[in-house]
């Protein structure tokens, strides 16, 4: 990276310049503000590191001249205790940060490295905006990070094997897109791809939705209905939110997977299960097994090939590529630009909604930009970056899961208090002994 260092104290300027060169940067050192302004009139650099107080011209004048470059140079301000207010003013004018003297060399090198990373991100964004079809190849999975390369490699390997795949990842990480990629890359690509959300279908209707039913099987079953297992034929069926299945539904699913056949409700006839089954979950199923909320045998049946999707915060180097792809869809003419400063602030956001949240943020930014050509962070995040949101969002569990956990703990506490005597435990809980037995069975607390 090309760095212009402006510092009138030579005893500080010389060792700082040497440290920057040792870190691999090309460095020009100047000792007064007027010389820096003249240099910027003709020369170009990626970063200016400048003191606030200088002979000839101050750091704010240098900042404004550097920001007029095309593309603008980033500016890092050095300040003494008495000039902190000027440093804050420089931040308001577009400086990336300031360092208060005295500071260790590693503090400067850390700031410079951060600037370099952001400039590389912006260069990637521009490059990907100029290249059509840079969407992760034929898999349609955007990202050049090592973790995404690993995901793509695992998809290609798993697609060639006719086995179940458990796709695990937080909300918004692209689980359905991965499932579709597995289908497209498989020998079943010409057959149907169907998906069903186990969380969206009421418990009482779920088995009918999966396995189908015959006319008269229950009240309201006025005609035969082919379930998703049958509709998928020899294609692929994605069971999304599989962690939401009740223990009873889990047993039915396990039976179908083991026997490779199923029976529609109200029928004695067995139909062959021809579809390939994929499962997706945002929960930690291994933990759910430990807590008794998910059957261990079903877990191992589904997780023949486990595939974890990383959250966006673990692959932030993919941010410019993702922004470029989403921006290309919303702004195909390429009218809008994302400055390095905006990218830097976007990279500091937690993105609790992962790639889906980022895509929505890009759509929002284009809508709010109006006549502006440069997208600012407030276009993407009108309420401002939500620091710490990720931790709080992770701590919130789905309501059904919270209720089940509370019920399990209440039953365990009652049984412990009564020495395992269920009749007395039921009295403590204010329910009948039969209700306690049924609830314990449902929650996997029998025995």
Please give the average per-residue pLDDT across 100-123, as a whole number. 86
The CATH 3.40.50.300 portion of the chain extends over 146-308
| Distance, CA of 44 to CA of 33 (rounded, Å) | 16
The CATH 1.10.8.60 portion of the chain extends over 312-393
413: CB partners within 8 A, 6+ apart: none
Greater model confidence, 118 or 308? 308
From the candidate CATH numbers 1.10.860, 1.10.3470, 1.10.10, 2.60.40, the one assigned to the domain spanning 399-442 = 1.10.10
Structure tokens at 281: 């979950």
| Distance, CA of 33 to CA of 8 (rounded, Å) | 9
φ, ψ for residue 303, nearest 5 deg = -95, 45
Please give the average per-residue pLDDT across 276-291, as a whole number. 93
The CATH 1.10.10 portion of the chain extends over 399-442
The structure's pTM equals 0.62
Please give the average per-residue pLDDT across 50-75, as a whole number. 89
- Is the model's pLDDT at 396 over the cut of 60? no
The pLDDT value recorded for residue 415 is: 74
83-92 pLDDT, tens digit each: 667 777 888 7
The pLDDT value recorded for residue 139 is: 54
Please give the average per-residue pLDDT across 361-366, as a whole number. 92
**Yes or no: domain 2-103 corresponds to CATH 3.40.50.300:** no
Contact 285, 298 (CB under 8 A): no
Q: For the chain, what is the mean pLDDT?
A: 85
The CATH 3.40.50.2300 portion of the chain extends over 2-103
- Is the model's pLDDT at 159 over the cut of 70? yes
Please give the average per-residue pLDDT across 11-25, as a whole number. 94
**Yes or no: domain 312-393 corresponds to CATH 3.30.1360.180:** no
- Is the model's pLDDT at 447 over the cut of 80? no
| Distance, CA of 415 to CA of 433 (rounded, Å) | 12
316-343 pLDDT, tens digit each: 888 888 888 888 888 888 888 888 788 8
| Distance, CA of 32 to CA of 111 (rounded, Å) | 22
146-308: CATH homologous superfamily?
A: P-loop containing nucleotide triphosphate hydrolases (3.40.50.300)
The pLDDT value recorded for residue 389 is: 42
Least confident of 78-82, 290-294, 382-386, 411-415: 382-386
Residue 151's alpha-carbon distances to 124, 145, 302, 408, in angstroms, are: 21, 10, 18, 36
């Amino acid at each position: 990276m090309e760095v212009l260092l402006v510092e009138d104290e030579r005893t500080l300027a010389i060792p700082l310049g040497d440290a920057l060169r040792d870190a691999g940067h090309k460095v020009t050192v100047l000792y007064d503000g007027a010389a820096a302004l003249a240099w910027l009139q003709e020369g170009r650099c990626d970063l200016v590191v400048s003191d606030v107080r200088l002979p000839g011209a101050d750091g704010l004048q240098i900042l404004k001249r550097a920001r007029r470059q095309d593309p603008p140079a980033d500016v890092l301000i050095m300040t003494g205790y008495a000039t902190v207010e000027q440093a804050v003013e420089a931040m308001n004018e577009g400086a990336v940060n300031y360092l208060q003297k005295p500071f260790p060399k590693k503090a400067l090198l850390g700031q410079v490295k951060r600037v370099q990373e952001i400039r590389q991100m912006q260069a990637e964004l521009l490059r990907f905006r100029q290249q059509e079809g840079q969407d992760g190849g034929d898999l349609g999975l955007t990202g050049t990070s090592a973790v995404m390369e690993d995901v793509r490699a695992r998809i290609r390997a798993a697609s060639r094997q006719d086995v179940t795949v458990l796709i695990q990842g937080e909300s918004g990480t692209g689980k359905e897109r991965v499932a579709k990629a597995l289908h497209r890359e498989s020998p079943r690509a010409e057959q149907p791809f169907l998906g069903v959300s186990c969380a969206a279908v009421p418990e009482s209707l779920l088995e009918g939705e999966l396995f189908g039913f015959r006319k008269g099987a229950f009240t309201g079953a006025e005609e035969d209905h082919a379930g998703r297992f049958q509709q998928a034929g020899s294609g692929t069926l994605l069971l999304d939110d599989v962690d939401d299945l009740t223990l009873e539904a889990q047993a039915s699913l396990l039976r179908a997977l083991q026997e490779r056949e199923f029976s529609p409700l109200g029928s004695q006839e067995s139909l062959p299960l021809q579809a390939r089954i994929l499962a997706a979950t945002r929960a930690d199923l291994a933990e759910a097994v430990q807590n008794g909320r998910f059957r261990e045998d079903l877990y191992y049946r589904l997780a023949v090939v486990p595939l974890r999707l990383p959250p966006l915060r673990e692959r932030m180097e993919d941010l410019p590529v993702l922004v470029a792809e989403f921006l290309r869809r919303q702004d195909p003419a390429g009218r809008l630009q994302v400055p390095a400063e905006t990218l830097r602030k976007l990279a500091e956001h937690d993105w609790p909604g992962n790639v889906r949240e980022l895509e929505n943020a890009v759509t929002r930014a284009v809508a709010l930009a109006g006549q502006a050509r440069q997208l600012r962070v407030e276009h993407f995040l009108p309420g401002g970056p939500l620091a710490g949101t990720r931790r709080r969002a992770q701590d919130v569990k789905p309501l059904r899961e919270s209720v089940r956990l509370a019920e399990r703990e209440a039953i365990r506490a009652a049984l412990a208090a009564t020495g395992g005597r269920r009749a007395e435990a039921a009295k403590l809980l204010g329910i009948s002994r039969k209700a306690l037995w049924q609830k314990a069975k449902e929650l996997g607390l029998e025995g």
